[in-house]
Amino acid sequence: MDASLPLELRIVGVLIRLYGLPVIRIVHLTTDGFHQDERGAYFTFDKNPVLLPPTLARLIEQQITTGRSRAALGPLATSEHPELLLPGQPASRPRSPEVLSGQLMRHGLPTIAARNTALFGMAGELPPIIISDLFGVHRNTATQWASLAQDSWAGYLAALRATE
């Protein structure tokens, strides 16, 4: 991970590449989705907590601390409106997904290709219903990705068997 990238871009890039989250969902994530216990750090996407790699957990912790320190005009969050992980201007509004996508592109980090790669990888390992529930992908989309991943693996395995 390139430490010269702004912190927010590193977080967004990792969330896209690991979990296939679209930028529009990432900008609406709130800090109350992040929690830690003795087993590790988790982020709850929709209703499901997902174990985070330690490096990503540290980046999110740093972002939460930095975001709170920028709130010079009082608290950003209320019980009805939790604090955004990626606050915009004003801090009560999310960052612009278009602007974030453009910034990622300028740094050579295309969002659509990265998201598709992540979803394809997960579709080869997890049942569609799990992908749908964990990451808020429509069930039909998750099923299509699983079908593509299985077709790809089936062709590969058939070719492998033919060479044996």
Residue 14 three-state SS: helix
Confidence of residue 159 (pLDDT cuts 50, 70, 90): low
Summary mean pLDDT of the chain:
84
Per-domain boundaries in the chain? 7-163
Confidence (pLDDT) at 89? 86
Find the mean pLDDT for residues 26-45. 94
Q: Provide the pLDDT for residue 72.
A: 47
Hey, what are 67's tokens?
A: 């975001």
Amino acid identity, position 42: Y
Q: How far is CA 142 from CA 14, 121, 155, in A?
A: 20, 12, 20
Question: pLDDT tier at 10 (50, 70, 90 boundaries)?
Answer: very high
Residue with tokens 């429509």: 138
Answer CATH for 7-163 from 1.10.3470, 2.30.110, 1.10.443, 2.60.120? 1.10.443
